[in-house]
Chains A and B, each alone.
With several copies, the nearest count.
Chain A
Amino acid sequence: MWHGGAEQNVDAMIGYAVVPRDGVRMKKIINDPSTVVEESLAGLAAAHADLLRVEFDPTFVVRTDAPRPGKVGVVSGGGSGHEPLHGGFVGRGMLDAACPGPVFTSPTPDPILAATRVVDGGAGVLHIVKNYTGDVLNFETAAELAAAEDISVEAVVIDDDVAVKDSLYTAGRRGVGGTVLAEKIIGAAAERGDDLPALATLCRRVNARVRSMGMALTSCTVPHAGKPTFELGEQEMEIGIGIHGEPGRERLPLEPADAIVERLLGPVVADLPFGSGDGVLLFVNGMGGTPLMELYLAYGHVEKLLAAQGITVERRLVGNYITSLEMQGMSITLLKLDEEMVELWDAPVHTPALRWGV
């Protein structure tokens, strides 16, 4: 019923994840699937030693100046493969620490707990958690363990993906592009001195006002799997994908950019709903392998469609910020802004991936 069985020699299996036995390599600049996350983090640390350092046992990324006494620590994390999220957002005015798990696998409680301890400056720690069963469960356990050490922890779950039909009886919606915006805004609020309950409330408010939807032109290859997660025909695309290379809600024939944009934007706008008079932050995100030429082209069309509905783009972000490895594709995120959010978005930030005002 399943392939192989107990009679196979386990030794022959060890190292399977290393260079596949037949010498087949992937189209990736990596050495070994079993060390890709750590090697990449080592590079991040080497490149941005002024901002952050990386601990490896357990693995987390943390600001060089943590803990900051009196400041709430802001921690996020999740599987790797979404770079620059989350490690690339560690630094002044954004995350105090990030916990990267293996590729597409949420971290275990150990690194989350360790990061939580390191960034606690006495004012408690906020966990920003993307809504995936694994992330939620592991952050939950870490928070319980931290509480047992008298660290105040609040967790806010981000679930902005309108591609997933929500229901009381399901795992709910995924956390996707809205996470980047929440991390920036909450990071700025923490930097200005907001306390833990205020930050949690603000983060829930951001989550309540942000919606996203994504699509893929190609699949991606998880390093330890060694082959594309799904097969997509030359003339096909997936609509309603998340950020883990999982297939989406629908497979459709390829379409022009304008039609793709409309497929994504329609459900996003309708869901909140966004409406005439709203000021929004528009985030056009690439899935990792989509060049800026295409993202700006899409951005232009989204802005026009929004303008036609009386929705004003007050702030924007265009680029590959929350990704699925080398997947080609994009997502559109809209956040309904208020004055406070604009101010916090504009506040100085200095991280490997986002920087302004510094």
Chain B
Amino acid sequence: MAVTTQDLVTFVTAYAEVIAANRAYLIDLDAAIGDADHGENLDRGMKAAMAELADAPDEVAPAEVLRRVATALVSKVGGAAGPLYGTAFLRASGALRGKPALDAPDVVAAIGAGLDGVVARGKAVAGDKTMVDAWEPAARAAEQAVSAGTPLAGALAAAADAAEEGMRATVPLVARKGRASYLGERSAGHQDPGATSTAMLFRAMADVAARGTGGGGPAEPAGQA
């Protein structure tokens, strides 16, 4: 059950849709402890990513899909999230270089590389109330599940659950990195916007994986009203 270029495009598309749908929500989260732009920035970036992919020939490699997303994010998002997500996608792309399709360990490696990119650029550790608080448990859960032989869809579902748990766990934290850190104690009691958009990333991944196997046209949403 290999992950194809088309699967990645489907995933990126799904993520762009989630971000567009939650643009205002992410702005609101950022307004509470930041500067009210996270949803706007990511939405602009994911729309640019979709434009980059629109003219991608079918035969591009999975790494190229992620590289294009990375380029779009780096050059269109700005702020803290632009370089962080941009680096994540770039490192993930690097981890997949030369692979025509991906197996579960490849996906785990890409996720791990993405996390490493975020940490390398942002220097945040778990508990700082940043997107790392969602990335790190998600990467760990995916890796453990795949190591334990869980199929990819299940592993990504576990990763998405872990990311959402990490996201919720940011609420009581006092921020030590990013704009929320300027608030000091007042940052506690609010959910981190970056951790939220990261949880959305993993949920989009899991949803696409759950919908079906690689290849073919746009996946049909499964189990929806």
* A binding-site residues for B, Cβ under 8 Å: 1-8, 10, 13-14, 16-17, 58, 79, 101-110, 132-134, 137-138, 140-141, 161, 163-165, 167, 169-171, 174, 222, 224-225, 229-230, 242, 244-249
Please tell me which one of the listed residues A141, A170, A249 contacts residue B177 in the complex, with CB atoms under 8 A apart.
A170
Is B36's CB under 8 angstroms from A108's CB? no
Flag if B79 contacts A4 (CB, 8 Å): no
- Say how far B10's CB is from chain A's closest CB, in angstroms: 11
Query: In the bound complex, how far is the Cα of B207 from the Cα of A108, in angstroms?
Result: 31
Q: CB-CB < 8 A to B34: which residues of A?
A: 244, 246
Nearest chain A CB to B135 CB, angstrom units: 16
The docked-state distance in angstroms from the alpha carbon of A174 to that of B34 is 13
B interface majority secondary structure: helix
Residues A7 and B37 in contact, CB atoms below 8 Å apart: no
Some 14 contacts from A to B, beta carbons below 8 A apart, are A2-B22, A13-B20, A13-B43, A79-B35, A79-B78, A104-B35, A107-B78, A134-B83, A137-B80, A138-B78, A163-B182, A171-B182, A246-B182, A246-B183
Contact residue among A14, A225, A242, A248 (Cβ-Cβ distance under 8 Å from B27): A225
| CA distance in complex: A184, B164 (Å) | 47
Q: Could you tell me the dominant secondary structure of chain A's interface residues?
A: loop
Which residues in A have their C-beta under 8 angstroms from that of B16?
10
The answer, yes or no, to whether B91 is at the interface (CB within 8 Å) is no
Q: Is B74 an interface residue (CB 8 A)?
A: yes
Closest A-B pairs by Cβ, 7 of them: A4-B21, A244-B35, A137-B83, A134-B79, A13-B20, A8-B21, A133-B80
Q: Bound state CA distance, A170 and B181, in angstroms?
A: 7
Per-position contact with A for B172-183: 1 when CB-CB < 8 Å, else 0? 000011110111
Chain A neighbourhood of B164, CB < 8 A:
1
For the complex formed, measure the closest distance between the CB of B14 and the CB atoms of chain A, giving whole angstroms. Answer: 5
List chain A residues, Cβ under 8 A from B151.
none
CB distance from A36 to the nearest CB of B (A): 12
Given contacts A105-B41, A165-B184, contact A171 B179 (CB under 8 A): yes
Q: How far is the CB of B69 from chain A (nearest CB, A)?
A: 14
Residues of B within 8 Å of A247, CB to CB, are: 32-33, 183, 186
Tell me the smallest distance from the CB of B43 to a CB of chain A, in Å.
8
B147 close to A (CB within 8 Å): no
What string of 1s and 0s marks CB contacts (under 8 Å) between B61-88 and chain A?
0000000000000111111111110000
CB-CB < 8 A to A248: which residues of B?
183
How many Å lie between the Cα of A54 and that of B19 in the bound state?
A: 31
B40 touches A102 (CB 8 A): yes
With beta carbons under 8 angstroms apart, the residue of A3, A17, A105, A167 that contacts B78 is A105
Contacts of B40 in A (CB 8 A): 17, 102, 105, 224-225
B79-120 interface with A by 8 A CB criterion: 79-84
Contact check, A6 vs B74: say whether CB atoms are below 8 A apart.
no
- Whether the pair A6, B14 counts as a contact (CB closer than 8 A) is yes
How does the 8 Å CB contact mask read for B1-42 relative to A, with 1 for contact and 0 for none? 000000000000010111011111101000111111100110
Question: How many whole Å from B94's CB to the nearest CB in chain A?
Answer: 16
